[in-house]
Amino acid sequence: MDDRWPVWKLAVLLYVFAATAVAINLFMLGLMGQAVGLPALSPVRTLLLSIPLGIPAAWLSGRWVRHLLDEAAKP
């Protein structure tokens, strides 16, 4: 029996952290966009955008952690 955590479980576990990182990066990108004349992103809009964008970020984080766990388990 394989006792490794699957990527989807790791992604669910890491979703909150990945979505938060996406929100922070979007907000900072919105602030930098003001330098070229774009309107700033509000914190609420940033959080709403980070909900769907956090899914692929969490999946990639889960794949990365799965790879690290596999590397650590090598003899």
pLDDT of residue 1: 47
pTM for the complete prediction?
0.86
Q: Average pLDDT over the chain, rounded to whole?
A: 94
Angle formed at CA 16 by CA 58 and CA 57, multiple of 5 degrees: 20
Cα torsion angle, 52, 56, 62, 64, sign = negative
Largest Cα span, the chain: 57
Mean pLDDT, residues 55-62: 97
